[in-house]
Copies of this chain bind each other. A is one copy, B any other.
Amino acid sequence: MPNLIGMQTPTELAAAYRSQGRKLTPQRQLLFQLMYGNDKHPTAEALFAEASSQMPGISLRTVYQTLNELAEMGELQFIDIGGGATRFDPNLDDHHHVVCVDCGQIRDVHVNGTAALKPVGIEDFTINEVGVVFQGVCSTCEKGRAKSNKTAHAKSPAPQAKVSK
């Protein structure tokens, strides 16, 4: 049985893959490891960067492919909070997100009170899920900001891990 409410362990995923007729390649195994318990909400590029350091030559295409597979298998979720790239989250627990509008960091958070949320006037919708996103500033960014007059919509906060180009 799974130990936590999250993506299965690399070993469990190996079994799951094989039982579905999928092959267990070194690339996939590496990505399983890199995503397992990962709470950084990495982008495909960020994961690719990590993977590349351990397996030079691995393709970005493979990273995208594997992430999509895992998402289809329900092992991870996609997070789109603006900012360009989709982020991946192996945390399958009932949780939500906090975003630092300065550095772009995304943190998982448990939120109390979501069950009491009452949308008004959408009788014609069958609601299946609720997502809550808190926007704010983390303590680290809170310090280093005084003269910098950040205004309006920052479409692209500092990416978590930009691959040098």
Contact = CB atoms under 8 A, between A and B. Distances in A.
Interface of A: 68, 71-72, 74, 77-78, 80-83, 86, 96, 98, 100-101, 107, 109-114, 116-122, 124-139, 142, 151-153, 155
Given A98-B125, A110-B120, 12 more contacts: A72-B153, A78-B153, A96-B119, A100-B125, A111-B117, A112-B117, A124-B138, A125-B137, A125-B139, A130-B133, A130-B135, A132-B133
Contact of A128 (B86, B109, B114, B135): B135
A71 B155 CA distance: 11
Q: How many copies does the complex hold?
A: 2
B127 A134 contact: yes
Contacts of A74: 152
A98 B118 CA distance: 12
B109 A113 contact: no
Given A78-B82, A82-B78, A120 B112 contact: yes
Contact of A122 (B129, B134, B151): B134
A105 B159 CA distance: 29
A107 B126 CA distance: 13
Nearest to A76: B153
A120 B127 contact: no
A110 B116 contact: no
A118 B122 contact: no
Contacts of A119: 96, 98, 109-111, 134
Contact of A137 (B120, B126, B137, B138): B126
